[in-house]
Amino acid sequence: MSNPLLENTALLVRTPNLIAADLDGELVMMDAQAGCYYGISGVGTRAFELLETPISIDGLVEIITHEYEVGPETCRREMQAFVQALMENGLVRPVSQ
């Protein structure tokens, strides 16, 4: 993993400028500053819920592997990619920022 902000133990949290609502099992969000809409469904919805408070990728993997039928390696790979996409879109930030 080349991004030091995505170290498995680094704490991450949702950015505060998001407005979110559940629509039939899909989480729909709007970035109020950028005026962009996003949608997340399935396990991504749960992971995004967990990012409401500071949590690391290790923490996400621990919870998701207990709640869903997924192995730790697959879950870690998927969570790293998911968090990277969230960061690229400004939806998640490191706790220190």
Domain residue limits, the chain = 9-88
Cα angle 72, 75, 76 (rounded to 5 degrees) comes to: 85
Percent of the chain clearing pLDDT 70 (strictly above):
93
pLDDT of residue 1: 45
42's tokens: 């399935």
Model confidence pLDDT, tens digit, residues 68-79: 999 999 999 999
Please check the confidence at residue 20 and state whether its pLDDT lies above 90.
no
Average pLDDT, the chain: 89
- The mean pLDDT value for 67-93 works out to 95
pTM comes to 0.85
Fold of the domain spanning 9-88: Outer Surface Protein A; domain 3 (3.90.930)
Indicate the helix (H) or strand (E) that contains 84.
helix 72-88
* Residue 13 and residue 93 in contact, taking contact as beta carbons nearer than 8 Å: yes
Q: Which residues have CB under 8 Å from 64's CB, separation 6+?
A: 43, 46, 47, 70, 75, 79
- The mean pLDDT value for 55-71 works out to 97
